Every structure is written in C-alpha cells, then in structure tokens.
Amino acid sequence: MGNDRQTFKGTYFYIAIAGIFMLIICHSWLSDGMFMDGTIYATISRNLANGLGTFWQPHLTNTLFPAFVEHPPLAFGLEGTLFRIFGDSRFVERFYSLLTIIITGMIIVSIWKLILKKTSTGWLPLLFWMAMPTVTWASVNNMLENTLVIFICLSVLFYIKSQKSNRIFFLFLAGLMLSLGFLTKGPVTFTPLSFPFFLWLFSRNKKFFSMVLDTLIILISAVLPLVLLFLYTGAHEFFPKYIEMAFDKISTGVTSDSRFYIIHRLVMELLPAFGIILLLILYGWKNKISFNKTSSGLTPALVFFCLGLAGVLPILVTMDQSAYFLLLSFPFFAISLGLIVNPLIETLLEKVDYNSNRFRFFKFSGLIALSAGIILSVYFSGDINRDKNLLKDMRVILVQLEENSTINILPEMYVEWSLHTYYGRYKNISLDPDLGNRHEYLLIKTLLNSDTINNSYDRIDLKTIEYELFRRKKSDPRKFPQ
C-alpha cells in the first residue's frame, strides 16, 4: 500500500517533466517547417501510404531519390501506416515523432523499474534524458533515430528480463528488436550486443561462458530474420545498394571539422544533466543529507554509462558526424546519471511533506505547465518555425501547380535539398534541373532572374519573397538554353 501511495505521488513528477517538455517544444511541434531529413522521411512515408514506391523501393520524388536507398525502410512503413489511418496532413509526422519519444520514455521507465524494483523515482532518468537538447529537437523533427531508439531500448529491456525469467524467450526478443532496429537505420542498432559484456564485467553475477552464450543467442536472433528477409523478399535488391552506400558514407562522408566533434557534442549535451546533479548535491550538502548510500548505484550506473559510450565511440572512425547520432545512446546516459543520484533523491523524497502548500503548488504548477504546453502548441500550429520565406512562397506557388506534376528549376538550384523535400511533401511535385526537359513551369530564385528567362517564359504575378514562378510562352517553340 505504501509503495502504491509513493507511485501515485510520483505521478506529479511525471506530469511536471511532461509539462516542461511541452513548453520547450510548443512553438516547434505543430508549426510548419522541419529539418530537411525529417521532411524527407515524412515525404517518403506519405508517398508509401499513397502507393508511390514500395516498401523495398521507397520513393521521394521523380527527380531526387526516385528509389531511396539511403536508409532501410521500416520507419517509413510505420509512419506510412499513420498516414493511411489519419490522412495526408503535416500534423501526422509531428504526432508520429512525438509518439516515438513517449514510447521511448515508457521503455526507459520500465528499464528503471527492473533495475531498482521501485517505481517512485522512474521520472528521474526521464528528467536527465529530456534535459539533453537534441532529444527535444528530435522530437519535433521526425528523425529516424526516434524510431531506432525504441528498438534499441527494447532490446536492453528484454535482456534484463531474460536474467530474471524465461531466459531463451526474452533473449530471442532482444535479438528480434535488433533486427527491427537494423531495418530502421542499419548496423548502428547493434550497440546493445555489448550490454551482456558490460553487465558481466562490472557485476560478475554470472559466468563468462554464460554471458558469451547470451550474446550469441541475441546475435543469431537478430541476424536470422534479416537473412530470411534477404532470401525471400525484395530485400535482396535493396540491401546490397544500401550497404555499399553506407560504407561509402563512412569512408568519404564529411559533416564535421574534427574526428572528435562527437565527443565535444556529447559533453555539451550532458552539461544540463550535470548541472541538475550539481544543484542536487549542493542542496543535499546544505541540508546536511548523508551521501553514504550514493555508492550503491555506481555499479549499474557504470554499466549503462559504458553502454552509452559503446554507441558513441565507433563514430570516431568517420568524419560523418552529427549530434543526432547520439540519440541512440542518450537513454543509457540518462539512466546512468539517474542511478548515481537516485539514493539522494529517495532521501529527499522521504522528507517531502506531501500535504504541504509547497507540494500543492508543485502539483498545480505541473498541471498548468502541461496544459499550457498543449494549448500553446495548438496556438502556434499556424506559425512557421524555419525556412520561413521558402514556405511562405511555396504556399502561394502551389496554388498554381497540379499535384503529382514536374516543373523545372535552374540547374544551380538543384542542391537546395529542402526545396525538393517541401514541394514533394506538400503536393508531390518534382523539381527538374534539366532545362532540356520542357516542363510548363519554371521555379527560380528571384536573384537568379535574367533576360534569357524573360524571353522564353512569362512571369506569373504572385506575392512572393525569394522565389518566382514562370510559365513557358506557348508562342516560343525554342528550346531553353542549357
């Protein structure tokens, strides 16, 4: 009964954290404009739902990735299912993105409960996780890692369960989750294979051979479904192209100035969590709270910290590095930091007067923050949070264009990837830089206008800012010079 009462009281901490989270993302969650990668994934998912492309041959546009092999297709299939259910709205990808964060949070709490057998402080790792800036950024930008992290965390959860009961069954599930993770974003999903080793290394609660056997069972359970897919589905055409592209990206891709950028970024992401821990320690010291119990969480904390590093350190081999690559490791760093300070938090909670005015104020503040975050998200849904001029112009221009059509753009505009993704996302319009293909319309940047364009096209008078739309003169049969 006492534990149930503590769990109920802990609900208010979950509400407070959810409220803070919603306030952070309220302006970006439902407003228009999204990181280019997220728009690509939304477009592919929407196309899949509308019958454009297939599961093993996803389709972006006719002129950019008509067959998309940059990533495996599972996340597109899952998101596409939401498009089939709820229709073609830009809010679908936003709800899907936030849903993946909510599911991951629930899994993190489940892992926490298995480790500590307590539920009253399950909100603690969530606090540290959501204090990492890229987590809130990814929650509104539809990143593939959002889906990937679900399967990675489930694999770890099932391995912990396998150590308590139904060992083979849960080891099989742990491996199956890695298969699904691979179908989401490739080899990076196999980080949890190191978890049995770290658990054996620091806790020594089982024999070395047993740990190796567990790892082999998980590996076989992960690889076997992929082999069957390769043999009996269209995967045999997809995977060779994907693997070739992935290795090429690892060896030649450059998105950072330093090989150690990812370490710098990890430290910066963890700083808010370290700041929270410092404040807690100072508060405990000021109130003369004993820190003797703190060491009890160090061993499991070390296991999860090493698991987090296992997802980070391999990135050092390539110059293709981005902050969102860290998303697959953040839950484990959050659990690790939570385990370190959990004894202190439990001591502090024992001193809380749950009938005091202070706690009542805390309860209502959390509820108000959550309500305000949701209301503000709806209020800001008509705003544009990035690529403002591009999207404002596009809204005006799209009225003139037919859905599923192809228009010309100037060759120098082809590398404006966001331009492709937005026009593909909102009306399935492909942008063709080959001016030899005489499409009816030409989209240009105003600063690239020239007399040559005016000789062959009529400008459509629209209230735009940076982009202009032209229509080919019917009386001019000449081929537009390339």
How confident is the model at residue 137, as a pLDDT? 98
**Mean pLDDT along residues 182-195:** 97
Model pLDDT, residue 414: 97
Taking alpha carbons only, the member of 467, 474, 471, 431 closest to residue 454 is 471
pLDDT at 227 over 50: yes
Q: Are strands 467-472 and 441-445 parallel, antiparallel or unpaired?
A: antiparallel
**Residue with token string 């596409």:** 80
Res. 291: pLDDT tops 80? no
Q: Which of 25-29, 401-405, 447-451 is predicted least confidently? A: 447-451
Q: How many Å apart are CA 224 and CA 348, to the nearest integer? A: 48
Residues near 115 by Cβ (< 8 Å), separated by ≥ 6?
160, 300, 335, 339
pLDDT band (50, 70, 90) for residue 3: low
Mean pLDDT, to the nearest integer, of 310-322? 94
pLDDT of residue 482: 43
| Average pLDDT, rounded, for the chain | 93
pLDDT of 107 > 80? The answer is yes
Q: What local confidence, expressed as pLDDT, does residue 313 receive? A: 95
pLDDT at 293: 61
Instruction: Quote the percentage of the chain above a pLDDT of 90.
Output: 82
111/106 Cα distance (integer angstroms) = 9
Exposed, middle or buried, 223 (CB in 10 Å: 0-12/13-18/19+)?
A: middle
The answer on pLDDT for 400 being more than 80 is yes
Mean pLDDT of 414-434: 97
Average pLDDT over residues 441-462: 92
How much is the pLDDT for 205?
Answer: 82
Structure tokens belonging to residue 461: 């008078």
Q: Which pair of structure tokens corresponds to residue 51?
A: 């019958």
d(CA 294, CA 310): 25
pLDDT at 479 exceeding the cut of 60: no
Of 168 and 475, the one with more pLDDT: 168
Query: Tell me, what's the pLDDT at 292?
Result: 63
In sequence order, the β-bridge partners of residue 58 are: 53
Stretch 121-147: mean pLDDT: 97
Q: pLDDT grade, residue 295 (50/70/90)?
A: low
pLDDT band at 350, cuts 50/70/90?
Answer: confident
Residue 2: exposure state from Cβ atoms within 10 A (0-12, 13-18, ≥19)? exposed
Q: Is the pLDDT of residue 387 over 50?
A: yes
Sign of the alpha-carbon dihedral angle for 187, 192, 195, 196: negative
- In this model, does residue 8 exceed pLDDT 90? no
Quickly state the pLDDT bin for 294 (edges 50, 70, 90). Answer: low
Average confidence (pLDDT) over 191-218? 94
The predicted structure's pLDDT at residue 73: 97
Q: 478 pLDDT exceeds 70?
A: no
Q: In whole angstroms, give the CA distance from residue 405 to residue 432.
A: 10
pLDDT-based confidence at residue 290 (cuts at 50, 70, 90): low
C-beta neighbour count of 197 within 10 angstroms? 18
Q: Is the pLDDT of residue 174 over 60?
A: yes
User: 247-273: per-residue pLDDT in tens?
Assistant: 888 888 888 889 899 999 999 999 999
Residue 481, pLDDT score: 45
Q: Which two tokens stand for residue 189?
A: 């999903």
What pLDDT shows up at residue 198?
A: 97
Output the pLDDT for position 480: 47
**pLDDT tens track for 58-68:** 999 999 999 99
pLDDT of residue 208: 94
Please indicate whether residue 292 or residue 171 has the higher confidence score (pLDDT).
171
State the Cα–Cα distance between residues 67 and 58, nearest whole angstrom.
Answer: 6
